[in-house]
Amino acid sequence: MPQFASIALQHFIVVPEQANQRLDNFLLTRLKGLPKSCLYRLLRQGKIRVNQKRSKPAYRLQINDSVKVPSLKLTPPLQIQQPSLSLQTLLEKSILFEDSNLIVINKPYGIAVHGGSGINLGVIEAMRQLRPTQRYLELAHRLDKDTSGCLLIAKKPAFLRHLHALLRESNHIEKTYLTLVAGHWPSTLQSVNLPLRKNQLSSGERIVKIDQNGKSSLTKFRVLEYFQHSTLLEAQLCTGRTHQIRVHTQQALHPIAGDEKYGNKLFNQSLRKLGLKRLFLHAHQVRFALPVTNQPICVQAALPYDLQAVLQQPI
């Protein structure tokens, strides 16, 4: 039988360091053990109140907002593991850029960016343990577990707010990916602009579909190289929706190699025989301007050796 902890009604007052966070992210951080489905149900039912009113999950908290949460029964949070010596070494070697405000790491594939849903150690938890004297470390955005490449981690609340503001405004942070897709991508197909909507299956699996009632989503594409049965593409995110590149390439009938959720099974099988063991999607470059000085920052993560090796095969 699962064990539950009873939590009395809770009342949070938003302090400056917490301002501009989404309400759902704010609560998930503080209500460890609360399933996301339960949180969103409580919000829909109006049982969680912000300033004594109903509020949507995407509401951006303001300084001195009052957030009240009803009494709950929570499963105890997973105990965070200590990162292994090999993981510590891997993450330290993966740091591409660091200053007083920011760390950019080349996230290895196969590692989640944060814990949760049965994962008790992600990149951010490991980085916090690697930097115990660093008072503040927060993810500025997310990458799928099987996606590698540039991941931004803020070292100060004010800088995190700056990054989030840039991410909300199209083209203020330029994120470029490298991906291998099935077939020959038409060189004239330079963008896919189709709205996306997240859905959850009865099994709990999350899947994203094209939906006219979804959020606007724009990806720009450029052909880098044609192979016999595939194409190496550069994909630039103009919006940052969940699984955006994966669904847009699927809709264009050129799914990403190694994509078990949105891909082509036969294409994946053929590449698996040639050594591809994961999703061929890599966050290659991130570019943006620093606040106040407007100094441009451009960080690149080279294509990993395992993906480079695939490109040397008859694909």
Whether residue 136 is found in the same domain as residue 260: no
Tell me the per-residue pLDDT of 153-166, one tens digit each, with 9 for 90 and over.
999 888 888 888 88
Q: Which of 17, 48, 74 is the last residue of a domain?
A: 74
The number of folded domains in the chain is 3
In a domain, 79, yes or no: no
Whether residue 298 is found in the same domain as residue 187: yes
Whether residue 61 is found in the same domain as residue 185: no
Whether residue 37 is found in the same domain as residue 100: no
Tell me the per-residue pLDDT of 12-54, one tens digit each, with 9 for 90 and over.
888 877 788 899 888 887 876 677 778 888 898 888 999 999 9
In percent, the amount of the chain with pLDDT more than 90 equals 46
Q: Could you give phi then psi for residue 73, rounded to 5 degrees?
A: -115, 115
In a domain, 184, yes or no: yes
Whether residue 23 is found in the same domain as residue 100: no
In a domain, 55, yes or no: yes
Tell me the per-residue pLDDT of 217-272, one tens digit each, with 9 for 90 and over.
999 999 999 999 999 999 999 988 889 999 999 999 999 999 999 999 999 999 99
Whether residue 229 is found in the same domain as residue 264: yes
Q: What domain range includes position 305?
A: 170-311
Kindly report the CATH number assigned to the domain that includes residue 12: 3.10.290.10
Whether residue 204 is found in the same domain as residue 286: yes
For residue 265 the two structure tokens come to 């099974």
Whether residue 223 is found in the same domain as residue 277: yes
Q: Which of 43, 74, 105 is the last residue of a domain?
A: 74
pLDDT at residue 119 tops 70: no
Whether residue 184 is found in the same domain as residue 304: yes
Find how far residue 160's CA is from the centre of its chain.
Answer: 15
Q: Residue length, the chain?
A: 315
Note whether 281 and 243 are within 8 A (CB): no
How much is the pLDDT for 2? 40
In a domain, 30, yes or no: yes
Whether residue 67 is found in the same domain as residue 49: yes
Spatial distance between the Cα atoms of 13 and 25, rounded to a whole number of angstroms: 15
In a domain, 165, yes or no: no
Sequence-ordered list of residues with C-beta below 8 angstroms from that of 172, at least 6 positions apart, any chain: 165, 166, 288, 289
In a domain, 274, yes or no: yes
| Averaged confidence pLDDT in the chain | 87
* Residue numbers annotated as active site: 144
In a domain, 59, yes or no: yes
Tell me the per-residue pLDDT of 67-103, one tens digit each, with 9 for 90 and over.
998 877 665 554 556 777 788 888 889 999 999 899 9
